[in-house]
Amino acid sequence: MNLAEGVQIVSFGILAAAMIGAALGVVLVDSIVYSAFLLGGVFISISGLYVLLNADFVAAAQVLIYVGAINVLILFAIMLVNKGEAFAPIRGRWFRRWGTALVGVGLFALLTTMVLATPWSLAPNSAEAIEYSVVEIGKHFFSDFLLPFELASVLLLMAMVGAIIIARRDVIPEALPPEETQQTAYTLQERPRELVSMVSQSQPTPE
């Protein structure tokens, strides 16, 4: 996607601001459900940055995998597990907060130093950008990287089967309860067939 330089700068500024704001919301918002929704906003902003870099396949994968799968899974886990319990105050909480803030500032300074020290200008003899990256990635997937691609699919299938087996272990009991404790289903009492036949024979037939 070829855009004008001014449109690219404005789009980058909007996406960067949205990503930084959503990331701060993930950390600072008290509600964990809102934090999960803001995490989805971070992923969508990152996919927009990939679109500006003409990496349309990576942008689509970002939306499908991170927003459509991982973030939705996080939301389901939060909504199923979160019981709204009142947690007791933790001792030394201020120390943990200041330690986390110090680590965050250190990582931000390290990334800033890396951004300023990296030469971002392209060499004059650099390769041109690929116009249709999806087609090129598909060609490499089914030619050069076919074996790792198939191995990854088999690994994901094994992980899915293992997750199903582990989940079913919680449902199926390991041993059946004794017969004395088994609950029998309530059924309606039926008349014996002999009595029913005797009653039908004793009734006079209408003439």
d(C-alpha 65, C-alpha 47), whole Å: 11
What per-residue confidence (pLDDT) applies to 113?
Answer: 94
Q: Which of 59, 62, 58, 60 is nearest to 70 (CA)?
A: 62
What per-residue confidence (pLDDT) applies to 43?
Answer: 93
142 secondary structure, DSSP code: T
What per-residue confidence (pLDDT) applies to 81?
Answer: 72
Q: What is the pTM of this model?
A: 0.58
d(C-alpha 80, C-alpha 74), whole Å: 10
d(C-alpha 140, C-alpha 155), whole Å: 20
What per-residue confidence (pLDDT) applies to 20?
Answer: 92
The two tokens of residue 180 are: 């004395």
The two tokens of residue 121 are: 């200008």
Residue 39 to residues 23, 67, 70, 78, 177: CA-CA distances in angstroms?
7, 9, 10, 13, 46
Angle between helices 32-52 and 5-28 in degrees, nearest 10: 160
What per-residue confidence (pLDDT) applies to 180?
Answer: 53
- Each residue's pLDDT, cut to its tens digit, for the chain (207 residues) gives 566 778 888 999 999 999 999 999 998 888 888 898 999 999 999 999 998 888 888 898 899 888 888 888 888 887 777 656 566 677 777 788 888 889 989 999 999 999 899 887 766 665 565 666 778 888 888 888 889 888 988 998 898 888 788 766 555 555 555 655 555 555 555 555 555 455 555 555 555
What per-residue confidence (pLDDT) applies to 107?
Answer: 93
